[in-house]
Amino acid sequence: MRWMATVLVFLGFSACDQSRSSSGGKPLVVATTTMAADLVSRIAGDRVELRGLMGPEVDPHNYIPTLPDSSLLERADVIVYSGLHLEGRLQGTLEAMAGRGKRCVVLADGVGEERLLSPQQGFEGTPDPHFWGDPLLWRDTIPSVVMALSEVLPGSAAEFETGGRELADELLELHAWAKSRLQEIPAERRVLVTSHDAFFYFGRAFGVEVRGLQGVSSAAEAGLKDRSDLVAFIRLRGIRSLFGESSVNDKGILAVAKEAGVSVSPEPLFSDAMGRPGDRVEVAGESYDRGTYVGMIKHNVNTIVGGLK
């Protein structure tokens, strides 16, 4: 498999000592976003002490690190973060720690530059950071996590590789499922309007046209012209339903919907954070936990199909 071959050659972290920072003797792994934490959990299981900085409904673009966060990061054996400035104000701190020798896995480094989308308006200089919207790109991040975990806990390397392989297979199945499900929406209605520009990778992967009110970074406020242009687009295309996001204030998208005379889906999409762990639902005969990456994608796909079909 392509990702297994990549494990042998890809180095996504800086070298540091092999100390154990957690009190229980397990390596302490700190992940920034909920998606990054889920990735580590699926690969490592209970072989590491996993701590996530950001919880459900937390917008990483606007996240302000606390003093306990800094202490946790200093103690970590491995730090896993998304990169491409998704973590906003935390980015500089993470880069500085890597420069001092802290082992850091930058998930975006696992995705080939040619597969990253160009910067969008208001986010010049950095590719679009929302690559997890495409399960196949998210799959490409697995090797760097497997390698970093194997370095700090070599006795469990085989188990980490097995966990990574199983997850890689599941993401292939998820991509195929999502593509098939979204085909149920007539092509002319396959237009997704959301609170901010977090779904371009999702749209490219599954043939969905995407428009967002705010820019790629939710920290950028939408102006009156942005709102006016989006309302005109909604009317021109005959769009009937818009979608809010769990980690973004819905005030703006509600105002656009009211002006355009359309509805907003009662179920927000998960963009920069997953749902709450254990939030299990059953939709279209399938049961899944919206507090996992797989459940996040399934929730988004099912919500979009329900709103646009």
Q: Are residues 93 and 226 located together in one domain of the fold?
A: no
Tell whether pTM > 0.85. yes
Q: Are residues 192 and 80 located together in one domain of the fold?
A: no
Domain C-terminal end among 176, 203, 229: 176
The residue assigned the tokens 């490219």 is: 204
Q: Are residues 218 and 152 located together in one domain of the fold?
A: no
Q: How far is CA 214 from CA 123, 133, 227, 233, 273, in A?
A: 11, 17, 9, 15, 17
Q: Are residues 166 and 246 located together in one domain of the fold?
A: no
- How confident is the model over 55-112, as pLDDT tens digits? 998 989 889 999 999 999 999 999 999 999 999 889 999 999 999 999 999 999 999 9
Residues shown for the chain: 309
Domain C-terminal end among 143, 161, 176: 176
The whole domain housing 123 covers 2-176
Q: Are residues 182 and 296 located together in one domain of the fold?
A: yes
DSSP 265: -
Nearest alpha-carbon partner for 106 in 65, 75, 143, 76: 143
Q: Are residues 165 and 207 located together in one domain of the fold?
A: no
Q: Are residues 136 and 182 located together in one domain of the fold?
A: no
| Number of structural domains the chain divides into | 2
Q: In this structure, what CATH number is given to the domain that contains residue 67?
A: 3.40.50.1980
Q: Are residues 158 and 269 located together in one domain of the fold?
A: no
- How confident is the model over 146-173, as pLDDT tens digits? 999 999 999 999 999 999 999 999 999 9
Q: Are residues 52 and 163 located together in one domain of the fold?
A: yes
